[in-house]
Amino acid sequence: MDVFLRAGRSLPLLLDGLAVTAAICVLAVALALAGAVAIVAVRRAGPRWLALAAACFVALMRGLPIVVLVFLLYFGLPAALGLGRVSAFWVGVGALALNGAAFMSEVLRGAIARLPAGQGDAARALGLLPWQVWRRVLVPQLLPVALPALAGEIGFIVKASPVLSLITVVDLTRRAQQVTMQTFDPLAPLLAAALLYFLLIGAVALASRWLEQRLLPEGRT
């Protein structure tokens, strides 16, 4: 009985944390996708120095742990620039987005490289404008190819999101710790948090599979 009573009091806290974690992930994923497209565009068609800078950025993001990136941006940069307090939430979202953008840009580059040769040339020969070539011909072909890997990267963003709990953001991980302190139960709140993360990442995988089915050319007829 006591167990259920405590669970009844703790669950709203955990669900509140889940909502914060979900918001963090939705914002970070949206920004990461936009960033990834920008990185790919710059590396394909930007000026040389910018393309090189983008390549360096991707290498940096691949080698830097997300924990250190977040500490660098939240503690280090404001100290170096003499800024006051910065928003932990937005710095955290930004760090996840920067990191995600780098990895997603590699996925997109890979998918573009695997497009059948001549698709772009053929579309141009038909007189399509550059944006039409991408919108009507190339993107519909590369999206189903890139989607599973992109979903994997989204999963990685969700799995990296507890890093925000290290800079005072009250997300699902931090809520689980709070409930542990209130209830003196070291295991149950963490297990509940683990389950909620599992469901969140599972939902991403399911959504990706559903979208993949819809995007495949056969599914459209």
Partner 1 sequence: MSDLLARYHGVILDGLLTTIALVGAGFLVGIALGALLAVPLSASAALPRALARAYVEVIRNTPFLIQAMLLFALFGVLRIRIEPAAVGAAAVAIYTAAYMAEILRGALHSIPTGQYDAARALGLPRHVRALRVIAPQLMPFVLPAGVNLLATVTKESAFLSAVSVAELTYSGQVVIAQTFRVFEVWAIVGLLYLALVLAVLGLAQRLERRLRWVVSTG
Residue 90 beta carbon to partner 1: minimum distance, rounded to whole angstroms:
19
What secondary structure does DSSP assign to 47-108, as a single string?
Answer: -HHHHHHHHHHHHHHHHS-HHHHHHIIIIIHHHHHT-----HHHHHHHHHHHHHHHHHHHHH
Residue 30 beta carbon to partner 1: minimum distance, rounded to whole angstroms:
20
Residue 143 beta carbon to partner 1: minimum distance, rounded to whole angstroms:
24
- Rounded distance between C-alpha atoms, residue 125 and residue 182, angstroms: 68
What secondary structure does DSSP assign to 171-207, as a single string?
Answer: -HHHHHHHHHHHH--SSHHHHHHHHHHHHHHHHHHHH
Based on CB atoms, which residue is closest to partner 1, 119 or 180? 180
Give the residues lining the site for partner 1 (CB under 8 A). 59-60, 62-69, 71-72, 75-77, 79-80, 155, 158-163, 165-166, 173, 176-177, 180, 186-187, 190-191, 193-194, 197-198, 201-202, 205
Residue 94 beta carbon to partner 1: minimum distance, rounded to whole angstroms:
16
Based on CB atoms, which residue is closest to partner 1, 8 or 63? 63
Q: Which of 55, 74, 77 is nearest to 66 (CA)?
A: 74
Measured at the CA of 90, the angle between CA 88 and CA 94, to 5 degrees, comes to 115
Residue 53 beta carbon to partner 1: minimum distance, rounded to whole angstroms:
16
Asked whether 110 and 122 are in contact (CB, 8 A), the reply is no
Based on CB atoms, which residue is closest to partner 1, 43 or 161? 161
- Rounded distance between C-alpha atoms, residue 4 and residue 176, angstroms: 17
Based on CB atoms, which residue is closest to partner 1, 76 or 148? 76
Based on CB atoms, which residue is closest to partner 1, 27 or 72? 72
